[in-house]
Amino acid sequence: MSRKYFKILLSLMVVFGFFVSINAFAAADKIVIGHSACLSGKYAKAGEQAIGGIKACIDWVNNVHGGVLIAGKRVPLDYKYYDCESKKEGVTSLIERLITVDKVNVVFAPYSSGLTLSGAPVAERYGMVYMDHGGASDRIFQQGFQYAVQTIGPGTRYHVGTLDMLDHVDPAAKNVALAYEDSEFARMTMTGAEKHANKLGKKIVFKRTYPTGVTDLTPLLSDMKAKKPEIVLGGGHYEDGQLFARQMSDLDINVKALSLIASATLPAFYGALGGTIAEGILGPSHWEYGVTFSPEGAMKVGLEWIGPSQDEFVSLFKKSLGKEDMIPDYHAAEAGAQVLAYVKAVENINSLDQDKVRAALGKLKFMSFYGGWDIDDATGLQIGHSMVDMQWQNGKRVIVWPLEAARGKLVYPKPKF
């Protein structure tokens, strides 16, 4: 190699080294959370809640916690998100953009099981930790993904508490109907519900699915009415949950208990039904305002506490969205708790290396305002979080199960429409 070429090569190496060092410095300067968020489309409501929850906890980490403690230095969190329009094609391209163009340090999945599942292979391809706050389907964690980590509880457990509660108050109510959206999340939820109902000695008298985007459930609900169920477990997402409740009311289908997944728990559910129709409707929830998780409680069960108190979280949530009258629901809480889990994992290992962070998440156990957090190390499935059941009572969401977390008594049987 001539002297001239050697000089050129040396110059290139110096320039390359300079940019690498600049990049390393920039990476240490802030930690960027990338999120393919549902700002519009069918999951816009849950998406807005998730963004509020994430911003609230980032605010807490940066301004109360003082930043992420990494290698002896406090580093602030930054949040980069794009609107996936609640569409799979948007999710995959945006996650790729977040990783390759925006160079984020971690990717947060969008809302819903279907969208979470569609984005997982992209994150996997780039070896990027992929944190799931809104995809409850167990199937996401049965694909062998190495970097997917769940904060929301698995779908198969959604109605376990509901059925236990109903069996507790009325063991004689045996006839259960399952009517649900033909979606990944609802299928998984109802598989778990059916299994648990059978275990409790209940009888499944009706089991039918309806397609996503349905606009009229009259035939299905008329069919269900003929089977005379006492307990109805149904729904899929917010849109069809509204339709489900409304058309049960239209057809005068009065049952002892009605529980709807991923819709009844949303604060807007009551108003969207024009009021009284929502009275008495139940919903399984990962978190509700009023649950009593605290540092003292964490200490009692031997878990480390991290994050804001419940009231601090609610206040930061409102500030983050600029909506004083908006109350966070579980979509916000689980997304916020995911920020805390990531921060805790990074602090535990003093590194942003994807494999090390994933390994640290596998070992992590903690409690926050959201409740317990612990994943199955091998699959990434959430195993440490318990659900609650809420019921609409006089226009308010009241936690009715489990008894130790209950803020009110279950209204049973459900008031007639």
Partner 1 sequence: MVFTLLAGNLIQGLLLGGVYGLATMGLSLIFGVINVVNVGHGQFIMVGAFVALTMFTALGLSPLVAIPVALIIGMALGFLFFYTVIHRLIKAPELTSLLATFAMGILLEEVAKLIFGADFRGYNWGLGKITLAITTIQMSKVYAFIGSVVIALFLYLWFTKTRLGTAIRSVIEDNEGAQVCGVNVGWIYALSFAIGIGLTVMSGVLLTMFIPVGINPYMGGVYTLKAFVIAVLGGLTSPYGAFFAGLIFGLIENGSYTLFALIPGVAPFPLTVSLAFWILFFLLLVKPTGLLGK
Name the residues that contact partner 1, by CB under 8 A. 39-42, 44-45, 48, 182, 208-211, 213-216, 218-220, 222-223, 226, 238-239, 242-243, 246-247, 250-252, 268, 271-277
Contact 215, 243 (CB under 8 A): yes
Contact 391, 288 (CB under 8 A): no
CB of 28 to partner 1, least distance (A): 37
3-state SS assignment for residue 391 = strand
CB of 182 to partner 1, least distance (A): 7
- Choose between 250 and 311: whose C-beta lies nearer to partner 1: 250
Reading the block at residue 83, the tokens are 């609107």
Reading the block at residue 1, the tokens are 């190699």
Reading the block at residue 362, the tokens are 């596998």
CB of 125 to partner 1, least distance (A): 30
- Choose between 38 and 193: whose C-beta lies nearer to partner 1: 38
Contact 389, 399 (CB under 8 A): yes
For 40: left if phi > 0, alpha if psi spans -120 to 50, otherwise beta; the answer is beta
Of 66, 63, 83, 86, nearest to 74 by C-alpha is 66
- Choose between 248 and 360: whose C-beta lies nearer to partner 1: 248
Orientation of helix 330-349 relative to helix 310-321, angle to 10°: 110
Contact 119, 71 (CB under 8 A): no
Reading the block at residue 99, the tokens are 């990783």
CB of 252 to partner 1, least distance (A): 4
Reading the block at residue 156, the tokens are 């198969």
Interatomic CA distance for residues 359 and 342, integer angstroms: 11
> How many residues belong to the chain?
417
- Choose between 87 and 358: whose C-beta lies nearer to partner 1: 87
CB of 320 to partner 1, least distance (A): 17
CB of 223 to partner 1, least distance (A): 6
DSSP per-residue codes, 250-295: HTT---SEEEEETTTTSTHHHHHTTSGGGTT-EEEES--TT----H
Start-to-end Cα distance in the chain: 88
CB of 46 to partner 1, least distance (A): 11
Interatomic CA distance for residues 191 and 238, integer angstroms: 20
CA quadruple 376, 385, 152, 303: dihedral sign: negative
- Choose between 182 and 311: whose C-beta lies nearer to partner 1: 182
Interatomic CA distance for residues 395 and 414, integer angstroms: 14
Reading the block at residue 359, the tokens are 């390994």
Strands (E), 26-118: 31-37, 68-70, 73-75, 77-83, 106-108
CB of 193 to partner 1, least distance (A): 17
- Choose between 42 and 157: whose C-beta lies nearer to partner 1: 42
CB of 39 to partner 1, least distance (A): 8
- Choose between 103 and 227: whose C-beta lies nearer to partner 1: 227
- Choose between 273 and 361: whose C-beta lies nearer to partner 1: 273
- Choose between 287 and 417: whose C-beta lies nearer to partner 1: 417
- Choose between 247 and 386: whose C-beta lies nearer to partner 1: 247
CB of 121 to partner 1, least distance (A): 27
